[in-house]
Amino acid sequence: MKKKYLILLVLVAFFTACTDKFEEFNTDSKNPAIVPGETVFSYAQYQLVRQISSTNVNLNIWKLMAQYWTECTYIDEANYDIINRTIPDNTFRQYYVGNDASNEGGFLRDFMEAAALIGATTPVGTVAEAEKANKLAIIELLTVYAFQNLVDIFGDIPYTEALDIDNIAPKYDDAATIYQNLITRVNDALADLDDSQGSFGSADQIYGGDVELWKKFGNSLKLKLGITIADADATLAETTIESAVTGGVFTSSDDDALFPFMTATHMNPLYEDIILSGRNDFVPANTIVNIMNTLTDPRRSLYFTKFGDVYLGGPYGYDSPYVSYSHIPDAISAPDFPGILLTYDEVLFYMAEAAARGFDVGGAGPGALYRDAITASILSWGGTAADANTYVTQQDVSYGTAPGTWQQKIGTQAWIALYTRGLEGYTIWRRLDYPIFNVARDIAGRDEIPVRFTYPVNEQTLNKANYTSAASAIGGDLLSTKIFWDKFPYNE
C-alpha cells in the first residue's frame, strides 16, 4: 500500500507539472497516511479510465462482447470463455480493491479514501468551504459512474457493505435498488455543486476543476441512469431523465468527459495492448464492418484500415488471421488517444430514445435528436459536416425512412457511434436488441449470446453464503441471466 501511494505522488506531480498546489505539501511524502486527498483522487481518475479503456483480455473484453473487434488466433474470449482467465475476478478486483502488487485498480476504494481525506480537512473561509463541497460532490459523481458499470456488468453486487475494509464477506444488494440509490446520490451531488467556485484545479485531469462542466457531467450521468432503466421502471426513468435535461446536460462535444493520456508516459492502455505488446491479437469484427459497409458510413476510414480496396472484418468468434483483414488504425492505438467516459453524441442518443418513449426532453423529437447524435459522432471522429449530411439523409439511415422500429434505428446508430467503448455498446445492444449480433463459433444460436458476467470464482469460495443468496435472487448465476433492466427477448 505504501508503494502505491508513493506512485500517486509521482503521477500527480507529473500530470500537474509541479504546480503551486504541490509546493504547499510541506509533509513527509513517504508516509501514506498523509497523502493528500487530491492526489488520491487524481490517481483514482487515472485508474478508472485505464480500466474502461483497456482491451487487455484479462481485464476488459467489452470490445469483443460488443462485437466491435474479434480475436485473431486465441478466440476463447470472443466465444465467451470468461473463466479461463478469471475475468470476472479481475473486474471485481479492478473496481473494488485493486492489486497492491501491481499498483493497478481499486479506484472505488481510492475515491472513498480521497473523500475521507478531503472530508477530514478544515477549510478556512467560505470559498474554501465551497471548494471542499465541490470536491466531494465530484468524487461522488465518479463513484456513481463506477458503480453503475458494475451493476451493468453483473446485476446484484456488493454495494452498501462493499468498501468496508473490515468486512471480507459483504452482502450483495439488489441491482434495481442500487440504481435508485445511485440516482439519489447524483441528485445530492448536483445540489452540492457550486459552479461559482473552484474545486480540484489541475489535480482534476478530466475537467481541470471546472465545476460547471462537472454539473453537466452529473446531469448527463443522471440521464444515462434514467434511460438505462426505462423498460424496468418507466416512472422513475421519466422523472430522472426530465430533471436531468432541465438541469443541463452536455450541449456540445466541448463538454465531453475525456481523460488526456500522454505520448511518453501514462499512455492509453490501447497503445500498450496493441502496439507495445508486439502482438497482433485483434481485428475489427465483421459485425460492425458489414453494417457500416452496407450504409456507406463515412466513419469507416476512421474506425478501420482497408484490406486492399475494401473494409473487411474478421468473422466474429472464428479464427481471423491478422494478415487477412482490416486493422485497428493508428489513431485509435495512439498513446495519447483519449480515455472516454461520457460524450455529447452519447447524450443525444439517450435523448432521442427518451423522446421516442414519449418523455419530455425539451421539445425536440426523436428524429431531430437522432440526426444530431449521428452528426455529432461523425464530427467528433474527424468527419465533415458534408459527410454527416449525406449520411443522415440517405434512405437506410434517415429516421423517417430507415427500416424497423425506433429501437432498431436508434440502437444500431448508437452502437456504431460508441465504437471503442465496448461496455456502452454492449449495453445498448442488451437493452434495445439491436443491431443483430453474429453467432460465435462455439455457441449454437443467438439466444446463447451472454447478457452479463457471472460472479467471480473467488466469491463462490470466499463469500459463499452471500454469493449463493445473490445467485438465487437474480435467477441463477448464468451468462444468460438478464440484468433487471433488460426486459425483452432477442430479435430473430
Residues spanned by the domain of 381: 2-265+336-474
Let me know: does 351 contact 238? Beta carbons within 8 Å. Answer: no
CATH of the domain at 158: 1.25.40.390
Q: Taking a C-beta distance cutoff of 8 angstroms, is the pair 98, 109 a contact?
A: yes
Element (H, E) at 451: none
Asked whether residue 128 is assigned to any structural domain, the reply reads yes
Residue 329 lies inside a defined structural domain of this protein: no
**How high is the pLDDT of residue 99?**
74
Place of cell 488471421: 321
Name the domain count of the chain. 1
330, part of any domain? no
Question: In 3-state terms, what secondary structure has residue 169?
Answer: coil
Asked whether the beta carbons of 134 and 141 are under 8 A apart, the reply is no
**Grid cell at residue 152:** 451493468
For residue 301, tell me if it sits in a domain.
no
Output the pLDDT for position 284. 98
How far apart (Å, rounded) are the C-alpha atoms in residues 104 and 98?
Answer: 6
User: Residues 9, 10, 15, 21: what is their CA dihedral angle, to the nearest 10 degrees?
Assistant: 40
Question: What is the Cα–Cα distance from 158 to 150, expressed in whole angstroms?
Answer: 9
Instruction: Give the span between the Cα atoms of 86 and 82, in whole angstroms.
Output: 6
Phi first, then psi, for residue 172 (nearest 5°) are: -100, 135
What is the H or E stretch that residue 340 is in? strand 339-342
- Residue 443 domain flag: yes
Extract the residue ranges of the chain whose pLDDT is less than 70: 1-34, 100-103, 490-492
Does a structural domain hold residue 36?
yes
Q: Assess contact for 177 and 239: CB atoms under 8 A.
A: no
The verdict on residue 107 lying in a domain is yes
**Which three cell numbers, joined as nine digits, stand for 93?**
478486483
The reported pLDDT for the residue numbered 7 is: 45
Tell me whether residue 324 is in a domain: no
What pLDDT is stored for residue 104 in this prediction? 75
Predicted pLDDT at 73:
93
Q: Would you state the pLDDT for residue 18? A: 34
Question: Under DSSP, is residue 28 helix (H, G, I), strand (E, B) or coil?
Answer: coil
Structural contact between residues 221 and 342, judged by C-beta atoms closer than 8 angstroms: yes
